[in-house]
Structure 1
Amino acid sequence: MADDDVTRASIGGAHRQRPVAAASSPPYGADPARPIPSRSDLRRSARARQRRRWAIHGLIAVVCAAALVAYVNSEFGPGPDDGAAGRDGVPAGVNRPSGLPGADGRDPGTAPVSPGLRPRQRPPSPTPAPPTPSQSASPAAPPVLSVARSDVPDEVDLSAVGSRDWVHWGLKGPDSPVRMRGGSGEIRDEGGTGERDDWDVNQETFRWRGGTPVESSDGTPVGVYTCGAGSGFTLAVTGDGDLRTVHLYAGIWMAKGRLDARLSTGGPTRTVRIEDPHTSQSADFTIRFQVPPGARLVLTWTAEEVFTEDCGGVGIQALALS
Structure 2
Amino acid sequence: MPLLDPGARREYLEPAAVILAGVLAVVVFGLFMHARANSGGQSGEPDPIAVPTTTADQIPIPLPSASLPPSVVPVDAISIERVPVAGIVDLAAEGTIDWVHWGEQGRFSLERDAGGEFAILEGTPTAPRVRHTSSPQRFTWRGGEPMAKTSGVTSGINTCGAGNGFTVTAPAGTGRNVLTVYVGAIRARGDIRIKLSTGGEPVTDILENREPTMTTAAYVISYQASGTGKISVEWITGATFDDKCGGVSLQAATLS
TM-score (norm 2): 0.71
Q: Does the 8 A contact of 2:184 with 2:217 survive in 1? A: yes
User: Residue 110 of structure 2 aligns with which residue?
Assistant: 177
- What is the CA distance between 1:163 and its match in structure 2? 1.0
1:185 & 1:292 partners in 2: Cα distance?
Answer: 22
Match of 1:112 in 2: none
Contact 1:186 1:239 in 2 (8 A): no
Number of residues of Structure 1 aligned to a counterpart in Structure 2: 194
1:136 shift after superposition:
8.0
Question: What secondary structure sits across from 2:187 in the alignment?
Answer: strand
Q: Is structure 2 residue 202 aligned with structure 1 residue 269?
A: yes
Distance 2:227 2:121 in 1: 16
Structure 2 counterpart of 1:291? 225
Query: What's the CA shift string for 1:130-158, capped at 9, x where partnerless?
Result: xx697586242111201110111111000
Q: Partners in 2 of 1:175 and 1:133 — Cα distance? A: 60
Partners of 1:321 and 1:166 lie apart in 2 by 6
- SS of corresponding position for 1:265: coil
Q: Could you say what secondary structure the match of 2:211 adopts?
A: strand
Counterpart in the other structure of 1:119:
none
1:19-78 deviations in Å (ceiling 9; x for gaps): xxxxxxxxxxxxxxxxxxxxxxxxxxxxxxxxxxxxxxxxxxxxxxxxxxxxxxxxxxxx
Distance 1:295 1:133 in 2: 35
1:315 alignment counterpart: 249
Q: Percent identity?
A: 34
1:148 aligned counterpart, secondary structure: strand
Asked whether the 8 Å contact 2:198–2:227 carries over to 1, the reply is: no
Check whether the contact 2:103–2:132 (CA below 8 A) recurs between aligned residues: yes
Which structure carries more relative contact order (alpha carbon 8 Å, separation 6+)? 2
Counterpart of 1:319, as a letter, is A
| Letter in structure 1 aligned against 2:109 | S
Relative to structure 1, is the Cα distance of residues 214 and 292 closer, same or farther in structure 2, using a 3 angstrom cutoff? farther
Mark the runs of 5 or more structure 1 residues left unpaired by the alignment.
1-131
Q: Give yes or no for the alignment of 1:195 onto 2:159.
A: no
Structure 2: how far apart are the matches of 1:174 and 1:292? 36
Contact 1:256 1:273 in 2 (8 A): yes
TM-score relative to the length of structure 1: 0.57
* Amino acid in structure 2 at the alignment position of 1:296: K
Alignment of 1:1-322 (within 5 A): 135=68, 138-279=71-212, 280-322=214-256
**Cα 1:220/1:229, change in 2 over 3 Å:** same
Equivalent position SS for 2:210: strand
Residues 1:293 and 1:266: Cα distance change in structure 2 (over 3 Å): closer
Task: Quote the Cα distance in structure 1 between the aligned partners of 2:66 and 2:236.
Answer: 52
Q: Contact between 2:170 and 2:230, CA under 8 Å: does it hold in 1?
A: yes
Cα gap change, 1:277 to 1:294, in 2 (>3 Å): same
In the alignment, the residues of structure 2 paired with residue 273 and residue 222 of structure 1 have an alpha-carbon distance, to the nearest angstrom, of 22
Q: What CA distance in whole angstroms lies between the structure 2 residues aligned with 1:178 and 1:293?
A: 30
Q: Displacement, 1:191?
A: 2.2
Q: Does the C-alpha gap of structure 1 residues 310 and 208 become closer, same or farther in structure 2, counting only changes over 3 Å?
A: same
Unaligned runs of 5+ in 2: 1-64
Cα gap change, 1:292 to 1:266, in 2 (>3 Å): closer
Taking the aligned partners of 1:228 and 1:269, their CA distance within structure 2 comes to 24
Tell me if structure 1 keeps the 8 A contact 2:198–2:228.
Answer: no
Shift of 1:312: 0.3
Can you list the C-alpha shifts for 1:272-303, whole angstroms capped at 9, x where unaligned? 10111123200011100011453111100000
CA distance, structure 2, for counterparts of residue 223 and residue 307 of structure 1: 21
Contact 1:224–1:317 (Cα < 8 Å) also in 2: yes
* Shift in Å, 1:271: 0.6
